[in-house]
Amino acid sequence: MIVFCVFCVVLGIGSFVRTSENQQTWMMLRNGLKTYQSRVYQKLSRTYKTSGIPELTQERHNVKRGNYAVLTDKDVGFFESVVGSNHTIKEKDELQSYNVDFLRSVRGNSQLVLKPGSVDEVSTILKYCNDNKIAVCPQGGNTGLVGGSVPVCDEIVLSLQRLNKVLSIDEVTGIAVCESGCILDNLEQQAKEVGLVVPIDLGAKQSCHVGGNLSTNAGGLRVLRYGNLHGSCLGVEAVLANGEVLDLMSGFKKDNTGYHLKHLFIGSEGTLGIITKLALLCPPAPKAVHVAFLGISSFDDVLKTFVSAKRHLGEILSSCEMLDANSLAASLEHFDTKSPVDGYPFYMLIETSGSNEAHDAEKFNTFLEIGMESGEICDGTITSDPGKVKEIWSLRERVPLALINDGYCFKYDISLPLRRFYEIVEVLEKRVGKMSLRVCGYGHLGDSNLHLNVSCKEYSNELYKAIEPFVFEYTSQLKGSVSAEHGIGFLKTKYLGFSKPQNAINMMKSIKQLLDPNGILNPYKVLQ
Using the rule CB under 6 A, is 482 a contact of ligand 2HG?
Answer: no
Using the rule CB under 6 A, is 400 a contact of ligand 2HG?
Answer: yes
* 55, burial (CB in 10 Å: exposed 0-12, middle 13-18, buried 19+): exposed
Q: Which is nearer to ligand 2HG, 319 or 365 (CB)?
A: 319
**DSSP label at residue 85:** G
When CB distances to ligand FAD are compared, the closest residue is 212
Q: Which is nearer to ligand 2HG, 25 or 105 (CB)?
A: 105
- Amino acid, single-letter form, for residue 66: G
CA angle 169, 173, 179 (to 5 degrees): 35
Using the rule CB under 6 A, is 115 a contact of ligand 2HG?
Answer: no
Residue 95 CB, shortest distance to ligand 2HG, in Å, is 25
Using the rule CB under 6 A, is 523 a contact of ligand FAD?
Answer: no
Nearest to 41 by CA among 199, 205, 189: 205
Q: Which is nearer to ligand FAD, 200 or 378 (CB)?
A: 200
CA 145: distance to chain centroid? 8
Residue 492 CB, shortest distance to ligand FAD, in Å, is 12
Using the rule CB under 6 A, is 205 a contact of ligand 2HG?
Answer: no
Number of other CB atoms surrounding residue 315 within 10 Å: 10
Residue 217 CB, shortest distance to ligand FAD, in Å, is 8
**Which of 14, 108, 116, 140 is close enough to bind ligand FAD by CB under 6 A?**
140
How many residues touch ligand FAD under the rule CB under 6 A: the total is 40
Residue 291 CB, shortest distance to ligand 2HG, in Å, is 16
- Report the C-alpha gap between 360 and 358 in whole angstroms: 5
**Which of 115, 205, 411, 525 is close enough to bind ligand 2HG by CB under 6 A?**
411
When CB distances to ligand 2HG are compared, the closest residue is 400
Q: Which is nearer to ligand FAD, 5 or 389 (CB)?
A: 389
CA 88: distance to chain centroid? 28
**Which of 116, 151, 199, 270 is close enough to bind ligand FAD by CB under 6 A?**
270
Q: In what order do the strands lie in the sheet with 113-114?
A: 88-89, 113-114, 156-159, 136-139
From the list ligand 2HG, ligand FAD, none, partner contacted by residue 218 (C-beta under 5 to 8 A by kind): ligand FAD
Strand partners, 408: 456
Instruction: For residue 147, give Cα distances in angstroms to 50, 101, 341, 366, 505.
Output: 19, 6, 35, 45, 20
Q: Which stretch binds ligand FAD (CB under 6 A): 210-218, 283-291, 427-435, 502-510?
A: 210-218
For 442, residues 6+ apart whose C-beta sits below 8 A from its C-beta are 321, 322, 323, 324, 327, 396, 399, 450, 451, 453
CA angle 445, 279, 209 (to 5 degrees): 60
Using the rule CB under 6 A, is 203 a contact of ligand 2HG?
Answer: yes
Nearest to 20 by CA among 6, 38, 1: 1
Using the rule CB under 6 A, is 146 a contact of ligand 2HG?
Answer: no
Q: Which is nearer to ligand FAD, 33 or 401 (CB)?
A: 401
Strand partners, 494: none
- Report the C-alpha gap between 388 and 290 in whole angstroms: 10
From the list ligand 2HG, ligand FAD, none, partner contacted by residue 422 (C-beta under 5 to 8 A by kind): none
Element (H, E) at 178: strand 175-179
**Alpha helices, DSSP H, located in 154-275:** 184-193, 210-216, 223-226, 229-232, 262-265
Using the rule CB under 6 A, is 328 a contact of ligand FAD?
Answer: no
x/- track of binding to ligand 2HG for residues 38-77 (CB under 6 A): ----------------------------------------
**Which of 28, 119, 145, 150 is close enough to bind ligand 2HG by CB under 6 A?**
145
Q: Which is nearer to ligand FAD, 71 or 238 (CB)?
A: 238
Using the rule CB under 6 A, is 523 a contact of ligand 2HG?
Answer: no
Nearest to 180 by CA among 133, 132, 233, 103: 233
Residue 120 CB, shortest distance to ligand FAD, in Å, is 15
From the list ligand FAD, ligand 2HG, none, partner contacted by residue 148 (C-beta under 5 to 8 A by kind): ligand FAD
Q: Per CB under 6 A, which of residues 215..234 are in contact with ligand FAD?
A: 215-216, 218-220
- Report the C-alpha gap between 416 and 407 in whole angstroms: 27
**Phi, psi values for residue 35, rounded to 5°:** -75, 105
**Residue pair 236/249 in contact by the 8 Å Cβ criterion:** yes
Using the rule CB under 6 A, is 351 a contact of ligand FAD?
Answer: no
Using the rule CB under 6 A, is 432 a contact of ligand FAD?
Answer: no
**Which of 180, 305, 353, 455 is close enough to bind ligand FAD by CB under 6 A?**
180
**Residue pair 455/401 in contact by the 8 Å Cβ criterion:** no
Using the rule CB under 6 A, is 206 a contact of ligand FAD?
Answer: no
- Report the C-alpha gap between 507 and 114 in whole angstroms: 32
Residue 138 CB, shortest distance to ligand FAD, in Å, is 4
Binding site for ligand 2HG (CB under 6 A): 145, 203, 400, 411, 413, 443, 451, 453
Binding site for ligand FAD (CB under 6 A): 41, 44, 102, 137-145, 148-149, 160, 180, 202-204, 208-209, 211-213, 215-216, 218-220, 269-270, 274-275, 400-401, 485-486, 489, 522, 525
